[in-house]
Amino acid sequence: MLAAVLHDFNDLRLEEVPKPVAKNAGEVVVRIKACGICATDYKAITGLRRNVHFPFIPGHEPAGVVEQIGPGVAHFKIGDAVICQPSGYCGFCRACRAGRTHYCEHAFTTGGDGPPDVWPGAFAEYLLTREQCLFRKPKNLSFDAAAETEPLSGAWKGVIQYSEMKVGEDVVVIGVGSIGLLCLMVARAAGAGRLIAIDPSAHARQQALALGATHAVDAGDPDVKKSVYAIIPDGPDVVIEAAGPIAAVQLMVGLLRRGTRWNVFGVTTHEKFELDGGLTHFLEARMDASFGTTPLAMQQAIRLMECGLVDPEKIITHRFPLAEIHTALEVMAGANRNKVVIQP
């Protein structure tokens, strides 16, 4: 099969590699129909993320069709249209039994990062995974939309499950690239009051307004906090950082008022920021983060899409065949794009 194999940072090669085979109990081979490019994929390919072991096939946002099933697979059959959760889990360790499968002591990931056990990802024609990682694709979802389930699930987990956004609350999203837009769309669907998008890109701000933001603020404004507080004088109830640069976290800290819930979502590399201990104590602002996904978050994301509450097709700006993945990466480096999807 054709696959994009990363041999070193900035050394991604299109190669013919052996097609995976479902030999062990519970294994499934999926023919990939669509796979989104995540910022963490791009960081791994370009060397901004260093926890990569070569050779490596990236790609952890796939949807496709069951091609082969291994021994003991009982809930899916060949030909089923499916969505793939990248993170696999044992189901028996303490974390799994507590419902935190993304903390699993025996976890693996297909094409992503986190656990040390990394399986080949979905920038390929076929993917080997386990039955537990599959979800049925609703008939009213395209494969491109279905491929956005994993990032949408992370947005739901961060905004709703962890930061506990409630109807009518004022929300600020810092960074409205693809993941920020998904956070914004989740907040809009959940009944956010004033919903402010902050981004240095005029293109991104315009897209955010089109997808439900009530206001947009230029991150390059001389006083972003003043602009935000002019819109919400009492300060934000929830702030989501979905930008990536550590400066976005520093901006987020500057926006806090007493009781704000803030979520470090976009920073995925090891960078540091400082907090004033006394002020942090006084504000009682609660910090959360959102890494990875869980079966609950995946199911909730599928429900949001199936019911029409969130349409991830609206953030897809570019589609490329696998053979043109290098062109796709050039687009990823540009400013006027949101979600880029690979269609093997």
Provide the residue ranges of all domains of the chain, joining segments of one domain with +.
2-147+311-343, 152-289
74-110: b or e for each residue (b if 16 or more CB lie within 10 Å)?
eebeeebbbbbbbbbbeeebebbeeeebbbbeebbbb
pLDDT (0 to 100) of residue 269: 82
Q: What letter represents residue 1's amino acid?
A: M
Question: Residue 177 in contact with residue 242, Cβ under 8 Å?
Answer: yes
The answer to whether residue 271 scores a pLDDT higher than 90 is no
The average pLDDT across 50-62 equals 95
Mean pLDDT for the stretch of residues 95-103 = 95
Which whole number is the average pLDDT over 199-217?
A: 96
Average pLDDT (126-150) is: 98
Q: In the structure encoding, which two tokens stand for residue 214, read together?
A: 């009530």
Return the DSSP state at 20: P
The per-residue pLDDT for 187 is 98
Nearest Cα to Cα of residue 65 among 88, 43, 41, 83: 83
Q: Is the model's pLDDT at 122 over the cut of 90?
A: yes
- The tokens for 179 are 């993941």
In this predicted structure, what is the pLDDT of residue 128?
98
Q: What's the DSSP call for residue 98?
A: T
- Write out pLDDT tens, residues 295-312: 999 999 999 999 999 999
- State the Cα–Cα distance between residues 174 and 202, nearest whole angstrom: 14
Q: Provide the mean pLDDT of the chain.
A: 96
Can 2-147+311-343 and 152-289 be said to share one CATH topology? no
d(CA 135, CA 149): 10
CATH assignment of 2-147+311-343, among 3.90.180.10, 3.30.1370.60, 3.40.50.720, 3.40.50.300: 3.90.180.10
State which CATH number among 3.30.200.20, 3.60.9.10, 1.10.3720.10, 3.40.50.720 fits the domain covering 152-289.
3.40.50.720
> Looking at this protein, which amino acid is placed at residue 162?
Y
Quote the tokens at residue 180: 């920020």
CB burial of residue 167 (10 Å; 0-12, 13-18, 19+): exposed
pLDDT in tens, 158-186: 999 999 999 999 999 999 999 999 999 99
Q: Does 270 have pLDDT greater than 90?
A: no
Structure tokens at 186: 């989740």
Confidence band for 263, pLDDT divided at 50, 70 and 90: very high
Q: What is the pLDDT of residue 119?
A: 98
Q: Per-residue pLDDT for 336 more than 90?
A: no
